[in-house]
Chains A and B, each alone.
Chain A
Amino acid sequence: MHTSTLSELARALEAGETTSEALTRETLERIRAHDGRYNSFITVAEERALEQARAADQARTEGRAGPLTGIPFAHKDIFCTEDLLTTCGSRMLENFAPPYNSTVAQKLDDAGAVCVGKANMDEFAMGSSNETSYFGPVTNPWGDGLVPGGSSGGSAAAVAARLVPAATATDTGGSIRQPAALCGLTGLKPTYGRISRYGIIAFASSLDQAGTLTRDARDAALMLNTMAGFDPKDSTSLDREVPDYCASLDNDLSGLRIGLPKEYFSDELSPEMAEQVRNAVREYENLGATVKEISLPHSHLAVAAYYVIAPAEASANLSRFDGVRYGHRCENPQDLNDLYLRSRSEGFGEEVKRRILVGTYALSAGFFDAYYLKAQKVRRLIQQDFTDAFNEVDLIMGPTSPSPAFAQGDKTDDPINMYLEDVFTIASNLAGLPAMSIPGGMVNNLPVGLQIIGNYFDEARMLNAAHRFQQVTDWHQQVAPNGV
């Protein structure tokens, strides 16, 4: 069963060909047997999962089953799950079992989905290679020694290795799409405000958005149907109707206007990558879409603006980790400041500390205008670029990442180079736009991601475009050689 997609499993459950308990047992077994190779899980919730599975089977016999009932999946370890360890990839939260559920976890619970465990991730979602996790790096099933991307590297590796059919993830600057690209998956980051952030451990509040890592667009639509929606507990959640994202998957693409930003095909992108992306876009022309070059003139400033805004917000968001109410507390603090200084220095890893310092600096007296306010102005320019572009086109397409999966250790000593992994993905977070990555080609036998950026709340159109592409291509069906 493990080669099946989420929707195939849902059909099998519906048809009575299997049970959730059987699926869940198989899933847990495979994780036990194989995850040593990927390190994609921080916590496996065997008992809890089996309980949920049995409840799901019960619900099905009582006629209360929905499309996700009984489906095993993984949560990125950034989603608070009640009484289940939620570490955010950090020593700081090594022993933290939240006394509450995130809204996403609650919705998936309520839908009867079975959380088999918590996926590894870059510490506090800060990283693009899953090498900053306190619980060790994650290996990409596409090759030993290769990174899966980050920060949702555990979620991506687990799906790519066929350990689970789907995983939740979050995307602050590309943390869903870049791992999707590097692991050959479909990764969806919806519009900011589409999915509640309540109970998701915050990195950068104005950029964070939850989403999915799945095998294909149909599965993403199924997950989004359950995860999306207004939440009164999140002030930035939008009170807007959630359409059935599955209903429009098969819509005809003729007349669809696609824009290719010329800035996304510049020096950062190797000619081989560019060729794969252009080939993928050609498929869309075959499907009836029209393609034109567009310009997003402020694209080159996105990374710079992001590395002011995200660390600034993070520096405040991470102040609550002070060793008092939860989380790591140093031994025998001498005084209050000693408690703060040592608990935080011991609890946070190097990259997290670095970003806290950058953010604190950008907000400090004398630098606030030049960094923080300036970055916010540039953010508006970047958003304006998209607004202009969407007057001319329906979807924007381009590469997701500058290169396919790279070797572990390659960029760990060069933060700037690591940051540039997200050069194509960051802008949509700054603007709050929905974006996804789907498998669009191969370079050196490694997957290449095609990024699709939509207008606000246009997830249905993006999923439709992704699905139609996946009906005529098989990039998404390529199996990682080290998968199981």
Chain B
Amino acid sequence: MQWETVIGLEVHVQLATQSKIFSGASTAFGAEPNAQASAVDLAMPGMLPVLNEGAVRMAVQFGLAVNANIAHRSVFDRKNYFYADLPKGYQISQMYHPIVGKGEVSVNLSDGSERTIGIEHAHLEEDAGKSLHEDFQGQSGIDLNRAGTPLLEIVSEPDMRSAEEAAAYLRKIHAIVTYLGISDGDMSQGSMRCDCNVSVRPKGQTEFGTRSEIKNVNSFRFVEKAINTEVERQIELIEDGGEVQQETRLYDADRDETRSMRTKEFANDYRYFPDPDLLPVEIDDTYINAIRDGLPELPDAKQARFVTEYGLNADEAAPLVQSQALADYFEQVARGSGDARQAANWIMGELARLMNQNEVEIQDCPVNAGDLATLILRVQDGTISGKLAKQVFEALWNGEGSPDDIIEQQGLKQVSDSGEIEALVDQVLADNQAMVDDYLSEEVAKKQKKKFNALVGQVMKASQGKANPAQVNDILQQKLTSSD
């Protein structure tokens, strides 16, 4: 049977406010345990929440960035459950009237196609604290510094049909929130977290299958792996005559498997109701429009501009706009070198390869944009060959100096002096009489061309790659023709 995968994502984004969503405590990372837990965050008796305008503003920014309806009136509800990291015994969230309504984002896939993924809504809520499981005489320690950090939960429609789409969607959300500057989007630190709702159904069926929710998926790579693993599990289960249970599963990256979380004695019943300590949030068009006017250029607009301004095609532009920093880097290289296509090729080729290999982000890349632009210029002006440029690039990566210093010190300058090249050609022809004869006696044009190239290779080798290949071609051609 042909199966179709249906995926919806719930992405929690920690908002980059200075203070917490309902208290004036700092949200900075790395403080001593509970040093940033105020009386409100600790749910001390009589403490009351007061909403942070910064969190509202950031939610609206996101909503506008995904073309969503912004609710002029939204309401905070209490989600009731007991847990060690939840001091009030309820989480303040938005169940019935979220601040951001339906919206959408488009994603580019590896086959060059583009898909639109719906956003069902996004709502504001507060983060919980952390349980630390080091042993405190058999007990756990609770740190509530994170409690009350604002979260924007972005809930997608079940619009994704493959793990690749899900990962692309997540990347897009990441790009949008980091472009907006409303989150650092750091998945390894938990500033962006993702739960995946996954189900399968026979191709052609319209009803959804029973879904499971995978928690704890904390990197882009794991999103794809976790979904693929879960899809395989579900298909196998059904094909073996089993049934998928609606449940929460945990992804174990080490074993690349999902496993069921322990079920509770009674099912959870969150008993949502409007938080009587908070009033409805009303925002007007003046507020919304002022935020709209201040929005930065977003990934889609930037991608479109890269196509028109730099003559890239959409496929080339899409990966460049994944992060603001990468896009900025590209623009500096493109402007510095005057060759946008070469800039894109270098960034998505050599630079991406070395970044991947060394697990480095563009912000920490050792090759600055100006040096890469210079390197491209040196290829353009014939100072070095394209092939040796890669060697220069590696040297730049390793911090061996500026492009010109490296070319100079390593003697990589291209030889364009025709006398010097002619001498090289003569030497090669003299040393390889058999090859020359072979070339001259060949009658099939195609084969003869191959034999010619072999001779070019010999000349390049003799020049240690520094000879200008076009000149080598011309001179060799002349010599062989005249000796004909």
Contacts and interface: CB of A to CB of B under 8 A. Distances in A.
Tell whether any CB of A sits under 8 Å from a CB of B in the complex: yes
Interface of A: 80, 86, 88, 93, 96, 98-100, 102, 197-202, 204-206, 232-236, 312-313, 315-316, 318-320, 322, 324-326, 336-337, 340, 360, 363-365, 368, 372
A234 B40 CA distance: 11
B276 A313 contact: yes
B80 interface: yes
Contact of A320 (B50, B87, B272, B277): B87
Contacts of B88: 316, 319-320
B39 A100 contact: yes
B261 interface: no
A319 B49 contact: no
B283 interface: no
B436 interface: no
Contacts of A326: 44-45
Given A320-B87, A325-B87, A233 B80 contact: no
Contacts of A88: 45
A233 B44 contact: no
Given A235-B279, A324-B84, A363 B50 contact: no
Nearest to B268: A365
A338 to B, nearest CB: 12
Given A199-B47, A319-B89, 9 more contacts: A80-B45, A233-B50, A235-B49, A315-B80, A320-B88, A322-B82, A325-B42, A363-B273, A372-B273
A363 B44 contact: no
A445 B39 CA distance: 48
A368 B80 CA distance: 13
Nearest 3 pairs of A and B residues by beta carbon? A319-B89, A206-B276, A363-B271
B45 A96 contact: yes
A322 B88 CA distance: 9
A320 B87 CA distance: 6
Nearest to B267: A365
Contacts of B50: 232-235
Nearest to B37: A325
Nearest to A88: B45
Nearest to B84: A336
A296 to B, nearest CB: 23
Contacts of A364: 269, 271
Contacts of A233: 48, 50
A205 B276 contact: yes
A383 to B, nearest CB: 15
Contacts of B48: 197-198, 233-236
A198 B45 CA distance: 9
B440 interface: no
Interface in B270-321: 271-273, 275-279
B355 interface: no
A368 B271 contact: yes
Contacts of A337: 82
A201 B45 contact: yes
Contact of A316 (B45, B89, B142): B89
Given A324-B142, A325-B87, A102 B46 contact: yes
A324 B83 CA distance: 11
Given A232-B50, A233-B48, A320 B273 contact: no
B90 interface: yes
B435 interface: no
Contacts of B43: 320, 325
A319 B45 contact: no
Contact of B46 (A198, A319, A325): A198
B80 A98 contact: no
B71 interface: no
Given A96-B45, A316-B78, A368-B271, A322 B89 contact: yes
Interface of B: 39, 42-51, 78, 80, 82-84, 87-90, 142, 269, 271-273, 275-279
18 contacts: A88-B45, A93-B45, A96-B45, A99-B39, A197-B46, A205-B275, A235-B48, A235-B49, A313-B276, A315-B80, A316-B89, A318-B89, A319-B90, A320-B88, A322-B82, A326-B44, A363-B273, A364-B269
A117 to B, nearest CB: 19
A340 B42 CA distance: 16
Contacts of B269: 364-365
A202 B46 contact: yes
Contacts of A96: 45
Given A206-B276, A236-B277, A336-B84, A360 B45 contact: no
Contacts of A365: 269, 271
Contacts of A200: 46
Most buried by B among A96, A100, A202, A316: A316
Nearest to A199: B46
B142 A205 contact: no
Contact of B277 (A201, A235, A322, A360): A235
B51 A235 contact: yes
Contacts of B277: 202, 205, 235-236
Contact of B279 (A236, A318, A372): A236
A363 B80 contact: yes
B328 to A, nearest CB: 40
A363 B78 CA distance: 11
B44 A100 contact: yes
Most buried by B among A99, A202, A232: A202
A90 to B, nearest CB: 10
Nearest to B39: A100
A56 B31 CA distance: 41
Contacts of B272: 363
Nearest to A206: B276
A209 B142 CA distance: 33
A111 B272 CA distance: 41
Contacts of A363: 80, 271-273
Contacts of B49: 235
Nearest to B50: A235
B82 A86 contact: no
A103 B48 CA distance: 12
A331 to B, nearest CB: 14
A86 B47 CA distance: 14
Contacts of B279: 235-236
B80 A319 contact: yes
Contacts of A368: 271, 273
Contacts of A316: 78, 80, 88-90, 271, 273
Contacts of A340: 82
Contacts of A360: 271
A235 B48 CA distance: 8
Nearest to B90: A316
Contact of B44 (A98, A206, A315): A98
Contacts of A80: 45-46
Contacts of A86: 45
A93 B45 CA distance: 10
A337 B84 CA distance: 10
A368 B269 CA distance: 11
B410 to A, nearest CB: 64
B335 to A, nearest CB: 49
Contacts of A99: 39, 44
Contacts of A198: 46-48
Contacts of A202: 45-46, 277
Contacts of A197: 46, 48
Contacts of B83: 336
A195 B165 CA distance: 54
A100 B23 CA distance: 15
A98 B45 contact: yes
A380 to B, nearest CB: 14
A363 B276 CA distance: 14
